[in-house]
């Protein structure tokens, strides 16, 4: 297989665990130069140290995806360290699900801030660079909840449906504008990550943990999909990937 990943500079948000961490480790092994962002800088540093020990290239940058300035800073850090940016993987997300009637409005706002504004801020930060160099790859984690609705996921579904629509418009506009910016939206089902830790509603948490205990698969499976998308030739895009356990009837 051709390795179109080697030498690419990739920013990963939500990189301190789960899908982000697994993707960082895989891409580093394939020769990518990584800029890892998350709030838990100590955890990022541990991952960077492991990558470097194995001969890979990576740096850590504290990142709050809800802050435009923080997103701009990680983009500038990537350019200063590696000279260019080839892709950004917008992977940060929260899933504090609950029935709408529970009115956990603070958690609603958190999901909008991270799952929607976090994507918008990341794209806004990197877009001038991608437009100027007439190339770039935007990859974002949505969810199977961005394809269909499920009880207790009303707000979460809304945020993930937004990612789906926004990324599709970005793909079409980039094609029309001739900027050669490719997109890939990933719709994971039950993937074993820390996402369930954000659920404060006891009943929903119990049900989701039972579901994931029965079906969940490793985040490395999603990392493989990210690597596949990045490895495609520059004239080709696969803009949507739905991935989950083979035995889960999502």
State the Cα–Cα distance between residues 102 and 104, nearest whole angstrom: 6
Could you confirm whether 156 is annotated as catalytic?
yes
Of 52, 63, 53, 54, nearest in space to 20 by CA? 63
DSSP string, 183-222: EEEEEE-SB-SGGGGG---HHHHHHHHHHHHHH-B-THHH
- If you count DSSP H runs as helices and E runs as strands, how many of each does the chain have, helices first? 8, 7
Phi then psi dihedrals of residue 177, to 5 deg: -85, -5
State the Cα–Cα distance between residues 95 and 82, nearest whole angstrom: 33
Catalytic residue (one of 150, 156, 212, 215): 156
Q: What residues are annotated to the active site?
A: 156
């Amino acid at each position: 297989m051709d390795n179109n990943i080697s030498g690419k500079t990739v920013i990963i948000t939500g990189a301190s665990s789960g899908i982000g961490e697994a993707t960082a480790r895989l891409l580093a092994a394939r020769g990518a130069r990584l800029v890892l962002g998350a709030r838990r800088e100590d955890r990022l540093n541990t991952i960077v140290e492991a990558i470097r020990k194995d001969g890979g290239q990576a740096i850590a940058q504290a990142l709050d995806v809800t802050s435009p300035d923080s997103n701009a800073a990680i983009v500038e850090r990537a350019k200063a360290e590696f000279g260019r940016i080839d892709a950004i993987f917008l992977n940060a997300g929260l899933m504090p699900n609950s029935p709408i009637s529970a009115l956990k409005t603070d958690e609603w706002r958190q999901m909008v801030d991270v799952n929607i504004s976090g994507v918008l801020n990341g794209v806004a930060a990197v877009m001038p660079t991608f437009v100027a160099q007439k190339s770039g790859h935007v990859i974002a984690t949505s969810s199977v909840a961005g394809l269909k609705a499920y009880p207790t996921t009303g707000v979460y579904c809304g945020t993930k449906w937004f990612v789906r629509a926004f990324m599709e418009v970005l793909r079409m506009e980039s094609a029309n504008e001739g900027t050669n910016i490719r997109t890939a939206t990933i719709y994971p089902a039950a993937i074993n990550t820390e996402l369930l830790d954000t659920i404060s509603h006891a009943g929903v948490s119990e049900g989701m943990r039972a579901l994931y205990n029965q079906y969940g698969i490793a985040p490395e499976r999603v990392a493989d999909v990210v690597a596949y998308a990045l490895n495609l030739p520059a004239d080709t895009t696969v803009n949507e990937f739905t991935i989950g356990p083979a035995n889960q009837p999502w």
